[in-house]
Amino acid sequence: MTSTERVLTVLAHQQPDRVPVNYHANPGIDARLKAHYGLKSNDSEGIKHILGVDFAGVSAPYVGPRIHADIPHRRVDIWGVRTRYVAHESGGYWDFCDFPLTDADEDAVASWPLPSPDDFDYRVISHQCERNQRYCVHAGNAGVGCIINRIGKLRGMEQVLVDLLTDNPAGLLLIRRKQEIELDIIARTLEAGKGRIGFLWMGEDLGTQKGPLISLDLYRKHLRPWHRAFVDLAKSYNLPVMFHACGCSSWVYEDLIEIGVAAVETLQPEAADMSPEYLKKTFGGRLAFHGCISTAGPVAYGAVEDVVADCRRTLAIMMPGGGYCFAPSHQLQDNSPTENVVAMYETAHRYGRY
């Protein structure tokens, strides 16, 4: 099978020739992995080829005017989200901070500068699809359509949850502005890549490690209608949808099935009701699965033999009947030993064939 055939077979809850493989990694482990294989640090295509990756994303770059001013010791993106660099013993990352709209009222939210869908270069989508034709191409990513996490980056997580619970007009206005813009961007992206994009990737933060982040009633009131709008858009192009949700998220899977989602990820196996056994037994045949190889488990803290055993066990549970994509539950972290990541992908290709 080609990568596109392989991935779309799985998203249709059927059995391919082998499990599709995906790769996401933080800069530290990514650099070490490339060095291990004798690749240059910028050879992203080379590492995907070696690891047998089946996925590639396309997106339209922003080409409009500067929207938000620079701030010392901060990165500021086109939405006004601010991050600061936090170093740790195995590397570092850009962490969200400041949350400039935490106390904003409706007027302040209405006047907050946001990007226009007109200011993205959709002409490059065709070229990106052509360049990635060996892969199954997706539009979007785990953050597309997300409300709690994405709005939380501007308003703060606590305030977003309060907004949803109290129907706060300012918070709901910010959600509406962001979602309408993003829907338009995705619509233009799908049109530009029509016939060459395999699926839409979107997501939402819905769970802690122990249980739901919000109630099902609150999800259905404020989040599900927006999620359905993205799914309906993808369906208008006959594209399946893969939905990202961290932590304990299986509590919402029946609703995702109902609105037409084909596959779910991240699948943190250590979270409540997220073990591969539970997911396969409860939702197998109705949802496809992507992930389930914990970045907080043997890959980070075990020996090579522990990684092999964990990956083999997950494959043995998830593979029967198809419907499974092998991938880390999140981006591989910098504390993951290089030899463990190598063993992870070697195990996928050795034992992931039907």
pLDDT digits (tens, 9 = 90+) for 119-165: 999 999 999 999 999 999 999 999 999 999 999 999 999 999 999 99
Burial pattern 233-259, b for ≥16 Cβ within 10 A else e, equals bbeebebbbbbbbbbbbbbbbebbeeb
For the segment 311-353, what is each residue's pLDDT rounded down to a tens digit?
A: 999 999 999 999 999 999 999 999 999 999 999 999 999 999 9
Q: CB within 8 A of 83, min separation 6: which ones?
A: 74, 75, 94, 95, 96, 97
The whole-number pLDDT of residue 319 equals: 98
Q: Is a pLDDT exceeding 90 seen at residue 93? A: no
The identity of residue 144, as a single letter, is V
The whole-number pLDDT of residue 127 equals: 98
Q: Is a pLDDT exceeding 90 seen at residue 99? A: yes
Percent of the chain with pLDDT over 70: 100
The whole-number pLDDT of residue 142 equals: 96
Q: What is the DSSP string of 92-137?
A: EEEEEE--TTTT--HHHHHHS----GGGB-TTHHHHHHHHTTTSEE
Do residues 203 and 144 lie in contact, with contact meaning Cβ atoms separated by under 8 Å?
Answer: yes
Q: Is a pLDDT exceeding 90 seen at residue 197? A: yes
Burial class (CB in 10 A: 0-12, 13-18, 19+), 208: middle
CATH of domain 3-65+102-351: 3.20.20.210
Tell me the sheet residues that pair with 332: 25
- Compute the distance between CA of residue 54 and CA of residue 59 in angstroms, rounded to an integer: 17
Q: Is a pLDDT exceeding 90 seen at residue 86? A: yes
The identity of residue 31, as a single letter, is A
Mean of pLDDT values over 89-118: 95
The whole-number pLDDT of residue 248 equals: 98
For the segment 239-275, what is each residue's pLDDT rounded down to a tens digit?
A: 999 999 999 999 999 999 999 999 999 999 999 999 9
- Has this prediction a pTM greater than 0.95? yes
The whole-number pLDDT of residue 324 equals: 98
- Compute the distance between CA of residue 5 and CA of residue 8 in angstroms, rounded to an integer: 5
Mean of pLDDT values over 206-212: 97
92: pLDDT confidence band, cut at 50, 70 and 90? confident
Q: Is a pLDDT exceeding 90 seen at residue 88? A: no
- Compute the distance between CA of residue 126 and CA of residue 194 in angstroms, rounded to an integer: 9
Q: Is a pLDDT exceeding 90 seen at residue 89? A: no
Percent of the chain with pLDDT over 90: 98
* Domain boundaries defined on the chain: 3-65+102-351
- Name the average pLDDT for the chain: 97
Q: CB within 8 A of 231, min separation 6: which ones?
A: 200, 202, 241, 259, 260, 261
Q: Is a pLDDT exceeding 90 seen at residue 90? A: no
The whole-number pLDDT of residue 91 equals: 81
